[in-house]
Chain A
Amino acid sequence: MKVFVCIKQVPGVSEVKIDPKTNTLVREGIPSIINPHDKHAIELGISIKEEYGGEVIALSMGPPQAEKALREVLSMGVDKAYLLTDRAFAGADTLATSHTLALAIKKLLKETNVEQKYIVICGTQAIDGDTAQVGPELAEELNIPQITYVLKFRLEEDDKVIVERAFRTEEVVEIETRLPVLVSVVKEINVPRMPGVQGIVNAYQNKEVIYLNADDIGADKSEIGLNGSMTEVWKIFIPEKKVDHVVLTGTIDEMVRELCINLHDDKVI
Chain B
Amino acid sequence: MSIIIDSEQCTACESCIVACPYGGIEIIEGSAVITPDCNLCGACVDACPVEAITLERTEYIDKVDKSQFKGVWVIAEHYGGEIHKVAYQLLGKGRQLADILKTDLTIVILGTNFDQILSSFGDYGADRVIYVESKILKHYYSDIYVNLLSDLVSERKPEIILIGATPTGRDFAPRLAKRLNAGLTADCTGLEIEEETRNLRQTRPTFGGNLMATIRTPISRPQMATVRPGIFKASNETKKKIKIIKIEKDLNETDSVTKVLKVIKKQKTTVNLEDAEIIVSGGRGVGSKEGFKIIKDLADALGAELGGSRVTTELNWVEPDRQVGQTGKTVSPKLYIACGISGAIQHLVGMQNSEIIVAINRDKDAPIFGIAHYCLVGDLHEIVPILTKEVRKIKSED
Which positions in A face B, CB cutoff 8 Å? Answer: 11, 13-14, 16-18, 22, 24-27, 30, 32, 63-65, 87, 90-91, 93-95, 98, 127-137, 139-141, 145-149, 162, 164-178, 188, 226-227, 229-239, 242, 244-248, 252-253, 255-257, 259-260, 262-264, 266-269
Which positions in B face A, CB cutoff 8 Å? Answer: 1, 15, 18-23, 36-43, 46-47, 57-58, 63, 79, 140, 142-143, 146, 166-168, 170-175, 177-179, 181-187, 201, 205-220, 230-231, 233, 257-268, 270, 272, 278, 302, 330, 334-335, 355-356, 358, 369, 372-378, 382-383, 386-387, 390-391, 394-395
Interchain CA distance A171-B264 in the complex, whole Å? 6
When distances are taken between beta carbons in the complex, the residues of chain B under 8 Å from A248 are: 374-376
Shortest C-beta distance, A75 to chain B (Å), equals: 23
On whether A65 and B37 interact (CB within 8 A), knowing A14-B330, A127-B208, A235-B214, the answer reads yes
Shortest C-beta distance, B179 to chain A (Å), equals: 6
When distances are taken between beta carbons in the complex, the residues of chain A under 8 Å from B212 are: 236-239
Q: Is the CB of B215 within 8 A of A234?
A: yes
Most buried by A among B215, B268, B372: B215
When distances are taken between beta carbons in the complex, the residues of chain A under 8 Å from B22 are: 11
On whether A27 and B356 interact (CB within 8 A), knowing A16-B207, A234-B215, the answer reads no
Most buried by B among A24, A137, A230: A230
Q: Is the CB of A129 within 8 A of B206?
A: yes
When distances are taken between beta carbons in the complex, the residues of chain B under 8 Å from A25 are: 18-21, 210-211
Q: Is the CB of A256 within 8 A of B170?
A: no
Q: Is the CB of A132 within 8 A of B178?
A: no
Known A226-B1, A255-B376; further 11 A-B contacts with Cβ < 8 A: A90-B39, A146-B171, A175-B260, A230-B182, A236-B214, A245-B375, A246-B374, A248-B375, A252-B382, A256-B390, A259-B376
Q: Is the CB of A137 within 8 A of B177?
A: yes
Q: Is the CB of A259 within 8 A of B335?
A: no
Q: Is the CB of A128 within 8 A of B207?
A: yes
Chain B, Cβ-Cβ closest to A246: B374
Interchain CA distance A252-B390 in the complex, whole Å? 12
On whether A132 and B186 interact (CB within 8 A), knowing A141-B178, A148-B167, A242-B356, the answer reads yes
Interchain CA distance A137-B257 in the complex, whole Å? 17
On whether A166 and B167 interact (CB within 8 A), knowing A177-B259, A239-B205, the answer reads yes
Interchain CA distance A227-B129 in the complex, whole Å? 36
Q: Is the CB of B215 within 8 A of A231?
A: yes
On whether A145 and B210 interact (CB within 8 A), knowing A130-B186, A171-B264, the answer reads no
Chain B, Cβ-Cβ closest to A169: B268
Chain A, Cβ-Cβ closest to B371: A245
When distances are taken between beta carbons in the complex, the residues of chain B under 8 Å from A147 are: 142, 258
Chain A, Cβ-Cβ closest to B263: A173
Q: Is the CB of A231 within 8 A of B185?
A: yes
Q: Is the CB of A94 within 8 A of B184?
A: yes
When distances are taken between beta carbons in the complex, the residues of chain B under 8 Å from A264 are: 394
When distances are taken between beta carbons in the complex, the residues of chain A under 8 Å from B19 are: 24-25
Q: Is the CB of B262 within 8 A of A252?
A: no
Determine the main DSSP class of A at the interface with B.
Answer: mixed
Shortest C-beta distance, B357 to chain A (Å), equals: 9
Shortest C-beta distance, B32 to chain A (Å), equals: 15
Q: Is the CB of A268 within 8 A of B177?
A: no
On whether A236 and B213 interact (CB within 8 A), knowing A25-B21, A146-B175, the answer reads yes
Q: Is the CB of A170 within 8 A of B268?
A: yes
Question: Of the candidates B1, B181, B263, B270, which one forms a contact with A230 in the assembled complex, judged by CB atoms under 8 Å apart?
Answer: B181
Question: Of the candidates B36, B142, B263, B335, which one forms a contact with A263 in the assembled complex, judged by CB atoms under 8 Å apart?
Answer: B335
When distances are taken between beta carbons in the complex, the residues of chain B under 8 Å from A238 are: 210-212
Question: Of the candidates A91, A164, A266, which one forms a contact with B264 in the assembled complex, judged by CB atoms under 8 Å apart?
Answer: A164
Interchain CA distance A133-B261 in the complex, whole Å? 25
Most buried by B among A16, A90, A171, A236: A236
Most buried by A among B146, B220, B264, B266: B264
On whether A148 and B372 interact (CB within 8 A), knowing A17-B210, A260-B394, the answer reads no
When distances are taken between beta carbons in the complex, the residues of chain A under 8 Å from B215 are: 231-234
Chain A, Cβ-Cβ closest to B170: A132
Q: Is the CB of A245 within 8 A of B386?
A: no
Most buried by B among A14, A131, A147: A131
By Cβ-Cβ distance, the 10 closest A-B pairs, closest first, are A230-B183, A91-B40, A133-B174, A136-B174, A131-B186, A231-B183, A140-B178, A13-B208, A137-B178, A174-B261
Interchain CA distance A132-B169 in the complex, whole Å? 11
Interchain CA distance A213-B262 in the complex, whole Å? 44
Shortest C-beta distance, A64 to chain B (Å), equals: 6
